[in-house]
Structures are given as C-alpha cells and as structure tokens.
Structure 1
Amino acid sequence: MFSGMLFIFTPLVVGYLISIANKSLLDKINTTTSNLIYVILALMGLSLAALDNLGENLQIILKFTAVFFTCLGLANLAVLPFVDKLMPIKTDNTHTKLPLSSMALESAKLILVVGGGLIAGLLIPIDLSWVDTASEWILFLLLFFIGIQLRNSGLTLRQILLNKHGMVIALLIIVSSMVGGAIAAMILDIDLYRGLAMASGFGWYSLAGILMGDAFGPVYGGASFMIELLRELIALVLIPLFIRTKPCTAIGYAGATAMDFTLPVIQTTGGVRCVPIAIVSGFILSLLVPVMMLFFVSLAG
C-alpha cells in the first residue's frame, strides 16, 4: 500500500525541493502545468468512454457527487462561522463587481474537455487500453510541476505560522471535511478510507479528479472532479454575498482555490485584509490535497 503511495508522492516531493528564481522559467512551468491538466482531463473522458455499462456508471457518479457535495458543504459551513464569531476581522467596504460569468466560463472549459474526451472515445473506434498508463505517467509529471509551483509560491513558513486566521480556517476545513467524508461514506456504503480520500480534495478539482481516477478508476475520478468543481462554482457566488459579514466563512468555503482562482473575487469584494488569510489557508489546503488523498488511498488498498 505505502509503496504505491511513495511511488506517486515522490515527484511532488522532488518538485518541492527545487527553488527557481527565473520568472520566465516559472511562467513556462505554470503554462505547462495548465496544459497537462487539460490533457489528463481529456484522458479521463476517454476512460469513462471505456467503461462497461456507461449509463449506469454515470448515475453512480451523479449519486456520489450529490451525497459528497452535500455532506462536505454542510460540514464546512457548520463550523466556519465560529471563526468569524471568535476571531472577527474587518473587511474593506468595497463595492466592485467582478465578471463572475467569465470566471465560471473557465471552469466550464474543463467540463467541456472531459466531455470532449468522452464523446471522442464513444464515437471513434480506437483501442483505449493505453489510456490508464498514459494518465499515470502524465500524473507523475504533473505532480512534479505542482511541487515546484508550491515551493515557489512566495509564501514562507514564517508567514504561514504568523497568520492565525488562515491556519485556523484550514484546520477547520480539514477536520469538518473528514467528518463530512465519513458520513458520506456511510450513506453510500463505501470504504471509509475511500470516503476520506474523496473528502480531501478541498476544492482542487483537477488534481482531486486525477488522483482519485488513477487510484480507483474513472467513476471515482469523475465524481471527485464534479464535487470540487461544484464547490468552486458555488464559492464564486457565495464570496461576494457573505465576505463583508462572514469573511472567514466565505474564504474557508473557497478551500484550496482561495490562493489562486477565487483570490481576485476575495480581494475585490473583501479588501486587502482578506488576501493574506486567503493565501495562507489556500496554500495549506493545496499542499495537503495530494498528501492526504494519497495517504487515504494507500490505506484503502
């Protein structure tokens, strides 16, 4: 079990050990990482096309998505308001509106990529036995680049430890997600460790879907992708609505995306005081997604 976890986790660790000062090279790595995500999501679509009883499996994906999304969301939102009550922060009274539709369109592109792979696999009569192996090797390369990105994100350990709000938010998201994942696993009657692995995506839909798909097949991968993607889309709506009255709740629900995709929304609607909190909480959760997910995958066997 743990040998498999180590084999997959090694590229992430190796990447994290690499410090890069050249901004041009970092930009190229970021671009390559984005492109690899599109490639591996297309392969996920092809994997779905190769499934027997596709219609039945799609129903399972939707069922898993609905149960996990509900349990995780309710668990997170049950505890996050306590941070706002016990550790209140003051936000800037800004009224800037963001083109949320254009940001949602970016997420929709990823769905189209998976759907395109699925349609291509159904319509083109080709052998798809190579897809799993190709996905695995691309995953190793992707984790290597993600490790480099995390190392060179500009956030030091001192900055993380000094931001209590960000650390508390991340801790509550982790604990409440584990509770929500355990409840979802009981409802769906699946292995507890698989449920905890599914709950460890924290909003990072692309990586979560890829890791779960590689570990347990396209059904789990597709469900994990949809769970975390829905989280991001809902966060785009909730952040502008609640960040002035419950900033920690709004930032926390964004999960790992608080340090990148939803950060512009947080900064524009909540002000600059919310930015360090969002970056720290998002960074901690992003760092722990592959760690926790691969750990629970190894226990599930």
Structure 2
Amino acid sequence: MTLASVLVPMFLGFFIKVPPSCLRLIDKALAGLVYAVLLLIGVSLARVENLGAQLDTILGAVLLLFACVIGANLLALMWFDRRRPWQPQGTGKKAKVSIAGSIKQVACVVLGFAFGKLMAGIWLPSENLGMYCLMALVLLVGVQLNGSGVTLRQVLVNKRGVQTAAIMMASSLAGGLLFAALTPGVSWMKGMALASGFGWYSLSGLVMTEAYGAVWGSIMLLNDLGREFFALVCIPLLMRRHPSAAVGVGGATSLDFTLPVIQSAGGLQAVPLAISFGFIVNVAAPFLMVVFSSFG
C-alpha cells in the first residue's frame, strides 16, 4: 500500500500538463506541503514515549548514518572525477550560500514537536494525515517535473549525469550497508532503506516513520537535512576539482534547492548535469525507500 501510495501519485503527475503560468502556483503549493509534512513529522515525534531517553541514540545514529553515506558518496564521486576529469565553465566562482531555508525547515519540525506536546490529550491531527500530504507532495513533484520542460531524452543523453546518479546511489547504498554492519539490530535492508532518501527529507522522514516509527523517521529526516546543510557549504569548495562530487553531494536537492549554488559555482555548463542527475535521483528515491523498507 505504501509503495502504491507513493509511486502512483508521482506516475500520475508525470502525465498532468499544466500551463506555464500555473507552475509558480504549484511551486508555492509544494513549498507549503513541505512545511506541512515537516510539522507533522514533529507531531509524530512528540507522540513517542520516553523520547528524552532516546535522544542520545537518535543523535548517535544520525551522525553515524551521515558519516557512512556522505563519506561513501564523496569517496566514490571524487574517484570518478579523477578517473574521468571534467571541468565546467565558471568553476571557482564564489557562490552565495544561504542556510536560511534549512533553518526554517528545522524550525518547522521543532514547532510541530512543541504543538504535539502542548496539545497531547486535547487534539492532534490524524496519523493518516501525513500519508495524505505525502501523496499530494509526490503528485505535485511529478507535475513539476513534467512542467519543467525536461524530457526523458534530455536526461538520458547527459551521460555524465546518468553516471553521477548511478555512482551516488550505489555508494549511498554501500554506506547504508556499512551503517547496518555497525549498528546492532539494523538489518541490511533497513540500512539501505535509510540510505535511500538521497536528501529528499520531506519524503524520507514520512516513509521511514510509516515503516519503522517516529524515532527512525526523525533519524532519516535529520540525516537528509544534514546533507542539505553540507551541500550548501561544500558545493563551492568541491566544484573546482571535483564537479561531479559537488553536484552529487546535494542528492535530490540538486534539482531545486541547491541548483542556484551549483549554477553560481560551476556556471551554466553545470546545470544540465545537475538537472539530469537530480531528475534520476528524484524518481529513484521513493521507489528504493519503499521497496527496501518493505523487506527490512
């Protein structure tokens, strides 16, 4: 059911064409849904009993998962850049870095948590509301991808984008397996599920909450938000010598949130790579997360 709930709306969204004038409204609706999802994740976290006793476990798991996945990504992508050198025009420019959006997203989770604690026993939204928001979110993402003007041919023709996506996803799964090996009670499938968010925090947090509970959902959310923070800071530093690593470290956010930083640091030549890479990762993430979590 979860697989159908996530993939069917995205599939339908690919076939919904909207006028260009409506795309801005869809962007705003999508931004609103992201904040709603983050609030609901905070509320679900507030429902966890004895959360204070588990904070050390959550923090330790987030740090270990982040180190395993991002470390594997950087090693694999930097190796790829050395084997197949490529340098976009504009490399080395100083990019404007703003983490205000990331701070707002963390604040939404905290606000949802505070709301859940204050309203416990009075009124809390249905636990199914998160899944409904998730379905609406992926539907709009599908519509957005369709309306972006990017064709499947353009995605697949960019050979380096396809290669970067494949290496990033494979190395992420390897990092997930390493995390599972180092964490008692975490199966290989669960480790790969936790590594399959690829930075899509609004989706991964809810899917992991559905699969493993609010604690693991929060671990996944913080891990993917951490990827966004890390990408914003490191893209300008990596772009000169390791452009594929600079694009790949952002994961799913390279199609939207970190794209301006990629363009600023790497120039217009880096944009097709980012779009091809981001498109593939955005399509693969929901499928891989749900499949691995259903077996783990």
Amino acid at match of 2:17: S
Deviation (angstroms), 1:130: 4.1
Q: Please give the secondary structure, in 1, of the residue aligned with 2:85.
A: coil
Q: Which position in structure 1 is the counterpart of 2:74?
A: 77
TM-score by length of 2: 0.93
| Equivalent residue runs for 1:70-109 within 5 Å | 70-93=67-90, 96-100=93-97, 103-109=98-104
Q: Do the aligned partners of 1:135 and 1:214 also contact (CA within 8 Å) in 2?
A: no
Conserved in 1, the CA contact under 8 Å of 2:92 and 2:240? no
Shift of 1:91: 2.7
- Give the equivalent residue in structure 2 for 1:42: 39
Change (3 A) 1:124 1:156: same
Query: Does the residue aligned with 1:132 lie in a helix, a strand or coil?
Result: coil
Taking the aligned partners of 2:63 and 2:145, their CA distance within structure 1 comes to: 31
Q: Give the equivalent residue in structure 1 for 2:159.
A: 164
Corresponding residue for residue 264 of structure 2: 268
One-letter identity of the residue aligned with 2:32 = N
- Other-structure match for 1:53: 50
Range moving further from structure 2, 118-127 or 171-180: 118-127
Q: Which amino acid aligns with 1:123?
A: L
Q: Specify the alignment match of 1:117 in structure 2.
A: 112
Moved more, 170-179 or 185-194: 185-194
Shift of residue 131, structure 1, vs aligned partner: 3.4
Aligned match of 2:183: 188
Which runs of 5 or more residues in structure 1 are unaligned? none
The match for 2:293 among 273, 282, 297 is 297
Q: Deviations over 1:82-140 (max 9, x none)?
A: 2212322223346643431xx21111101000001111222334446643121122222
Could you tell me which residue of structure 2 aligns to residue 17 of structure 1?
15
For 1:155, the aligned partner's letter is V
2:206 corresponds to 1:210: yes
Output the TM-score relative to the length of structure 1.
0.92
Unaligned runs of 5+ in 2: none
Range moving further from structure 2, 122-131 or 34-43:
122-131
Supply the AA of the counterpart residue of 1:12.
Answer: M
CA deviations on 1:55-95 (whole Å, 9 max, x unpaired) are 12332221221111010011111111222123222233466
What letter is aligned with 1:37? V
Q: 1:276–1:7: structure 2 CA closer, same or farther, 3 Å change rule?
A: closer
Within 1, Cα distance between the matches of 2:62 and 2:37? 20
Please say if residues 42 and 113 of structure 2, whose CA atoms lie closer than 8 Å, have aligned partners that are also in contact: yes
3-12 or 64-73, which moves further after superposition?
3-12
Aligned to 1:67: 64
Matched AA of 2:56: Q
For residue 163 of structure 1, report the CA deviation from its aligned partner.
0.9
Cα distance in 2 for residues equivalent to 1:205 and 1:40: 10
Contact 1:46–1:128 (8 Å) recurs in 2: no
Once the two structures are overlaid, the 10-residue window that deviates more, 184-193 or 162-171, is 184-193
> Separation in 2 of the partners of 1:98 and 1:179?
31
Aligned pair partner of 1:28 in 25, 28, 32: 25
Q: 2:232 aligns with which of 236, 248, 258?
A: 236
> CA 1:221–1:127 in 2, change beyond 3 Å: closer, same or farther?
farther
Q: In structure 1, what is the Cα distance between the partners aligned to 2:5 and 2:113?
A: 28
Q: Quick one: structure 1 residues 252 and 49, their matched pair in 2 at CA, closer, same or farther if it must change by over 3 Å?
A: same
Measure, in 2, the Cα distance between the counterparts of 1:153 and 1:60. Answer: 41
Asked if 2 retains the 8 angstrom alpha-carbon contact of 1:5 and 1:297, the reply is: no
- Whole-angstrom distance in 1 between the partners of 2:74 and 2:91: 24
Q: 1:93 to 1:134 in 2, by over 3 A?
A: closer
289-298 or 175-184, larger mean C-alpha shift = 289-298
